[in-house]
Structure 1
Amino acid sequence: MITIKDLHKSYTMGTNSLHVLKGINFSVQEGELVSIMGSSGSGKSTLLNILGMLDEADQGSYTLDGVPIKNLNEKIAAQYRNKFLGFIFQSFNLINYKSALDNVGMPLYYQGMKRKERTDKAMAYLEKVGLANWAHHMPNELSGGQKQRVAIARALASDPKVLLADEPTGALDTKTSYEVMDLIQGINDEGKTILIVTHEDDIAHMTKRIVNLKDGLIIDDAPVNQVRAASHV
């Protein structure tokens, strides 16, 4: 599903060049649930931005579902993101003046789906995450856990090949974090490929494989015995 070879990325900081990724080799098979860990400055956010087509590597190759991701203009990158990827963010990134239902339907709007079909599909995904009764509530009427569930429903609505989750439990308390991870595990059980960036060891062990980054290199990449979040909820 994802193949990355010899990936390098540097940023210019004034007169200095900061070499953030120093030759990353990494692959993810369809249906995997993988966490990416590393301290601040390890390169995990940069790697996620490249995977999310929000940034481009200086050197190396990135292939997603058999498609080389290279030299994309913003229009093509946006089309590919909408087709291939669903995003879940720590800060939820919901549109405050739109209801939960409209937030979930947003990717479908960009796909040109008609309103009735869009509404029906968005409602189906809200039901999937247990929030059908909250469809017409605004984000400021929702708890943190509910907001993240809306964000997950939105990420799923366009039926992406891969879900990219950037610290999806970072703004949540422990109990709510485990409830969200229980939902993510269930989505993965259905076959969805999911990558999670996290700094929380307990969350990482709820995935099936942990990749550790340090100073722009992968220092460890191994399967783990998955802890089921439901056992903690």
Structure 2
Amino acid sequence: MIEIKDLQKSYQMGSNSLHVLKGINFNVKEGELVSIMGSSGSGKSTLLNIIGMLDEADQGSYTLDGVPIKNLNEKIAANYRNKFLGFIFQSFNLINYKTALDNVAMPLYYQGVKRKERAEKSMHYLEKVGLADWSHHLPSELSGGQKQRVAIARALASDPKVLLADEPTGALDTKTSYEVMDLIQGINDEGKTILVVTHEDDIAQMTKRIVHLKDGLIIDDSKVEQVRASVHV
């Protein structure tokens, strides 16, 4: 599903060049649940941004579902993001003046899906995350855990090939974090490919494979015995 070969990325910082990714080789098969770990400055956010087509590598290749991702203009990149990827962010990134239902419908709006179908699909995904009764509430009326569930429903609404979760539990307490991971594990059990960036070891243990980054290189990539979040919920 994801094939990355010798990925290199540097940023110009004044007169200096900061070499952030120093030759990343990384493959993810369809249906995997992978966590990416590393301290601040390890390159994990840069790697996720390149996978998410929010940034582009200087060298190396990136193929997503058989499609080479290279030299995309912003319009094509946005189109590919909408087609291939669903994003879940630490800060939820919900639109404050729109209801939960309208927030979930946003990717479908950009795909040109008609209003009635948008509403039906959005309601389906809100039901899936256990928030059907909250569909007409604004984000300000929801708890942190509920906001993240809305964000997950939004990420799923366009039926992406890959879900990218950037610190999805970073703003949540432990109990709510495990509830969110229980939901993510359930989505993965249905066959969805998911990447989770986290600095929390207990969250990483709830995935099936942990990739450790340090100073722009992968220093360890291991399959793990998955801890089920439902045990803790």
**TM-score higher than 0.5:** yes
Q: Deviations over 1:188-209 (max 9, x none)?
A: 0000000000000000000000
What is the aligned partner in structure 1 of residue 92 from structure 2?
Answer: 92
C-alpha deviation, 1:165, in angstroms: 0.2
Q: Tell me, in whole angstroms, the C-alpha distance in 2 between the residues paired with 1:117 and 1:206.
A: 34
Letter paired with 2:24: I
Q: Tell me, in whole angstroms, the C-alpha distance in 2 between the residues paired with 1:89 and 1:118.
A: 22
Q: 2:176 matched to 1:176?
A: yes
Q: Deviations over 1:115-167 (max 9, x none)?
A: 00000000000000000000000000000000000000000000000000000
Q: 2:158 matched to 1:158?
A: yes
C-alpha deviation, 1:68, in angstroms: 0.0
Q: Deviations over 1:15-60 (max 9, x none)?
A: 0000000000000000000000000000000000000000000000
Q: Tell me, in whole angstroms, the C-alpha distance in 2 between the residues paired with 1:190 and 1:127.
A: 16
Q: 2:208 matched to 1:208?
A: yes
C-alpha deviation, 1:220, in angstroms: 0.0
Q: 2:147 matched to 1:167?
A: no
Q: Tell me, in whole angstroms, the C-alpha distance in 2 between the residues paired with 1:207 and 1:178.
A: 12
What is the aligned partner in structure 2 of residue 32 from structure 1?
Answer: 32
What is the aligned partner in structure 2 of residue 19 from structure 1?
Answer: 19
- Give the 5 Å matches for 1:1-233: 1-233=1-233
C-alpha deviation, 1:71, in angstroms: 0.0
Q: Tell me, in whole angstroms, the C-alpha distance in 2 between the residues paired with 1:111 and 1:213.
A: 35
Q: Tell me, in whole angstroms, the C-alpha distance in 1 between the residues paired with 2:121 and 2:132.
A: 12
Structure 2 spans left out of the alignment, 5+ residues: none
Q: Tell me, in whole angstroms, the C-alpha distance in 1 between the residues paired with 2:5 and 2:114.
A: 40
C-alpha deviation, 1:102, in angstroms: 0.1
Letter paired with 2:144: G
Q: Tell me, in whole angstroms, the C-alpha distance in 2 between the residues paired with 1:31 and 1:143.
A: 30
Q: Name the count of aligned residue pairs.
A: 233
Letter paired with 1:208: K
Q: Tell me, in whole angstroms, the C-alpha distance in 2 between the residues paired with 1:50 and 1:184.
A: 22
C-alpha deviation, 1:187, in angstroms: 0.1
Question: Identical aligned pairs, as a percentage?
Answer: 88
RMSD: 0.2
Structure 1 spans left out of the alignment, 5+ residues: none
Q: Tell me, in whole angstroms, the C-alpha distance in 2 between the residues paired with 1:84 and 1:112.
A: 16
Q: Tell me, in whole angstroms, the C-alpha distance in 1 between the residues paired with 2:97 and 2:81.
A: 24
SS in 1 for 2:151: helix
Q: Tell me, in whole angstroms, the C-alpha distance in 2 between the residues paired with 1:229 and 1:205.
A: 9
Q: Tell me, in whole angstroms, the C-alpha distance in 2 between the residues paired with 1:207 and 1:15.
A: 40
